[in-house]
């Protein structure tokens, strides 16, 4: 087993409720996922990441766990999970599962016990605090989901902390017994054969033990408030505490007992996410990988992508990032970036860019089809974030609608009524219509993934950016032997340049025409050029084509 399979790997994220329903109840499940794993293997991914499948009241779609060592019946059984892992491994796919460790459901037996009184054995397993003299909460910390991060409990006559919904109370990581128990739940799944973990909100584990209030976030004069008031604070005391690093090292020590296992942490931090990612992956004793929301927003420029990658490796030369353009928490990137090109052109460009960046990559189900965001109506909402901040923010349901396998009823996802609607724009982006069709987004993803596998420099090689004007992103992957010049036109018009020190475009280059000594990149075009051994590639003059 390659102990570092994760370095430069490509992980395919599966949102279990929306991948494949096997029993007609309108909800995706583990047998459905197992039946469709061939699609992921044929795509060319190295691993799958399953969003939460544990027992849960589903107030936040499984991110409120009531039993960390069992499967929720809506998804199946432990036997179904074992069958999924076996089938994935037969296909050469690793299996990564979501771990929601920062908080549990309020229906977890430990919280039920903790809130009973102030003297029970688990009284301090969650974060409790006395009210201020005026009856208010102990500080100004807000919840990501709106309102204060504190809820009053009448039994204990205290407030408890929840960074998300009131039904998602935060564990008290300052209690070593809590750490020990959470590590034991991870060991349960490692013993069951999983290959790693995606760590939800990994920088939220610890809070400031003194419960100091957060300062306001500086904003430009006249700037209107954001949709979510959570974004008005500098969360320096409610998360990303220095004590977190020691717990990450405890998790890494656990995984090191199981060769070939890996962790990727989700860093939710505005403004300094790259530094936190760097801190959390520096050296061999912390996380294997981390990702943030830096590439999951509306920014679409060569400068933005270059600055994110350079910023990470400048902060942690020995760390390792994971990059993604879409996931279950973000508007799908083809929709976010709609003003920068035609949808299919943007989808192909995104595949080429993302799979050429230095780091590991995460693809979100449907991304390989050029899938777009679903327009969700108020009466169709299930996401508590959407209900709280409608209509300026419609929540996350739009990116969570079912996978579309064919053009038939409900896209082949279910024979029943799907939990979220399959609408005509999404139905048009289906697997069957693109399978085997030259030039389709699906076949382009497969070609780029095969090209990446055939060129090790794209997985683990060094990266060096070339000076280039907007909208051209240019960098070299690798040192000498096998190095590639990677070129991406992020604009809607053609670009003409005269590259030197390299050969003609290779692989699944798109909208790239070599004429005499000039290379023309069409709108959203991209190209990989082999670097001549010993040469230092240059772009020449870059101008509209």
Smallest CA-to-CA distance from 429 within 482, 506, 490, 368 is with 368
Q: How far apart are the C-alpha atoms of 334 and 327, rounded to whole Å?
A: 12
Looking only at the bridges linking them, the beta strands covering 10-14 and 47-50 are parallel
Given 200, 279, 294, 397, the catalytic residue: 200
Cis peptide before 391 (omega within 30 of 0): yes
Smallest CA-to-CA distance from 300 within 353, 258, 375 is with 353
SS3 362: strand
Active site residue 200: yes
Beta carbons within 10 angstroms of residue 291's beta carbon: 24
Residue 403 DSSP symbol: P
Burial class (CB in 10 A: 0-12, 13-18, 19+), 428: middle
Residue 411 DSSP symbol: G
Q: How far apart are the C-alpha atoms of 281 and 265, rounded to whole Å?
A: 9
**Residues 102/164, Cβ–Cβ less than 8 Å:** no
Given 134, 191, 257, 481, the catalytic residue: 257
Looking only at the bridges linking them, the beta strands covering 150-153 and 158-161 are antiparallel
Q: Which helix (H) or strand (E) holds 84?
A: helix 78-90
Active site residue 367: no
Active site residues: 200, 257
């Amino acid at each position: 087993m390659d102990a570092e399979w994760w370095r430069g790997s490509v992980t395919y994220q599966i949102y279990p409720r929306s991948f494949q329903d096997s029993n007609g109840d309108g909800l995706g499940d583990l047998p459905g996922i197992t039946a469709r794993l061939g699609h992921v293997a044929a795509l060319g991914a190295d691993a799958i990441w399953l969003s939460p499948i544990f027992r849960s009241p589903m107030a936040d779609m499984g991110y409120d766990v009531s039993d960390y060592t069992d499967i929720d019946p809506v998804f199946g059984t432990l036997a179904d999970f074992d069958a999924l892992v076996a089938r994935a491994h037969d296909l050469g796919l690793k299996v990564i599962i979501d771990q929601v460790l920062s908080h549990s459901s309020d229906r977890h037996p430990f919280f039920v016990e903790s809130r009973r009184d102030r003297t029970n054995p688990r009284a301090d397993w969650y974060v409790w605090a006395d009210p201020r003299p005026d009856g208010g909460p102990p500080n100004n910390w807000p919840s990501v989901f709106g309102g204060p991060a504190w809820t009053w409990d009448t039994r204990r006559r205290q407030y408890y902390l929840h960074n998300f919904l009131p039904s998602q109370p935060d564990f008290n990581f300052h209690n070593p017994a809590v750490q020990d128990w959470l590590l034991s739940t991870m060991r349960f799944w490692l013993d069951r054969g999983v290959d790693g973990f995606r760590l939800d909100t990994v920088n939220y584990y610890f809070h400031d033990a003194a419960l100091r209030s957060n300062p306001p976030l500086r904003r430009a004069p006249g700037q209107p408030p954001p949709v979510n008031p959570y974004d008005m604070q500098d969360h320096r005391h409610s998360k990303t505490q220095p004590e977190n690093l020691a717990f990450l090292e405890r998790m890494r020590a656990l995984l090191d007992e199981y060769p070939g296992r890996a962790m990727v942490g989700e860093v939710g931090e505005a403004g300094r996410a790259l530094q936190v990612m760097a801190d959390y992956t520096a050296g061999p004793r912390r996380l294997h990988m981390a990702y943030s929301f830096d590439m999951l927003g509306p920014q679409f420029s060569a400068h933005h992508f270059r600055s994110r990658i350079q910023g990470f490796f400048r902060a942690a030369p020995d760390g390792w990032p994971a990059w993604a353009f879409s996931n279950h928490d973000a508007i799908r990137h083809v929709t976010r970036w709609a003003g920068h090109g035609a949808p299919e052109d943007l989808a192909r460009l995104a595949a080429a860019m993302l799979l050429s960046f230095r780091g590991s990559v995460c693809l979100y189900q449907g991304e390989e089809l050029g899938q777009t965001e679903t327009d969700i109506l108020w009466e169709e909402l299930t996401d508590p974030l959407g209900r709280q901040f409608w209509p300026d923010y419609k929540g996350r349901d739009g990116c969570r609608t079912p996978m579309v396998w064919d053009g038939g009823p409900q896209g082949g996802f279910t024979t029943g009524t799907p939990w979220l609607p399959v609408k005509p724009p999404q139905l048009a982006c289906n697997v069957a219509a693109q399978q085997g069709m030259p030039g389709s987004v699906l076949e382009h993803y497969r070609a780029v993934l095969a090209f990446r596998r055939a060129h090790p420099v794209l997985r683990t090689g060094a990266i060096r950016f070339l000076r280039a004007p907007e909208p051209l992103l240019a960098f070299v992957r690798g040192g000498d032997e096998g190095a590639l010049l990677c070129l991406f036109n992020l604009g809607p018009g053609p670009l003409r340049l005269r590259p030197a020190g390299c050969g003609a475009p290779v692989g699944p280059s798109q909208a790239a025409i070599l004429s005499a000594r000039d290379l023309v990149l069409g709108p959203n075009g991209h190209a990989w050029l082999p670097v001549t051994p010993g040469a230092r590639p240059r772009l020449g003059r870059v101008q509209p084509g």
